[in-house]
Structure 1
Amino acid sequence: MRKRTWGFVLGGLLVALLLAGVVSNYASSHPDGLDSSLLKGCTVNADGQITGGSCPAQQTKGHELADGPLAGYGIRGLNNRFLSTGLSGVAGVLLTFALGGGLFWLARRRGPAAGDPTGSDATAADDPSPRGDRRH
């Protein structure tokens, strides 16, 4: 990869890490649109618990990974909410970057498909145009 491309990729990674590690702590703690629509028809207390009424949110079940180390937008065991949220965001960005970078690296290493005339297997001798006769 060219130096300019590396700078762009690393700059994007730095911005993503900053957003995930710091700015994510200032996101709204109020329910999003989906959560709000699921609560229509129910009475909810200050802690967000349903105390009465009838709504689709009463049918929800716990997530299989609710006890995981990164569940609830934080890192289990860290008592500092700001640090826990920031570090879980940074971990998510780094994991996503590593996975995406690995997939791009594998795709690049694989090269063009077999039989692709635009691939590196095509030589000047295979070119029927007059350019194919020239030696470089």
Structure 2
Amino acid sequence: MVGIVVVSHSERAAEGIREIAREMGGDVRIEAVGGTGDGQIGTTPEPIREAVEAADGSGEGVVVLVDLGSAVMNAELALEEAAVDEAVVADAPVLEGALNAAVAATAPNATVEAVREAAEEAAGVSKL
């Protein structure tokens, strides 16, 4: 099963988004990482790399969702170092994208590309 990583500058935000996405994703492996090691707002590559490797438990790949610009940079750095065969950063709103990704990842034939596309489709969904 394709895994999902939620990256936020806030640990609490990442955990909350994961909590919501788990409601939709059932058994999908969803990891949350946020904040810095000293409890500040921000992101760092090493915890993201660890989360990516943990989310790839089945070896079918990982889709990473991020909240803000520097999280993209740190996620890309983490993916360069991660010991996984396939992982991508989705260009998607983090909450809505995580929900879409979680649902897509439950499909028996889910691929990283299909889960990434589902996450990115959330960018076009109107809330009103």
Give the structure-2-normalised TM-score. 0.23
Does 1 or 2 have the higher relative contact order (CA < 8 Å, sep 6+)?
Answer: 2
Q: Judging by fraction of residues, say which structure has more strand.
A: 2
Give the structure-1-normalised TM-score. 0.22
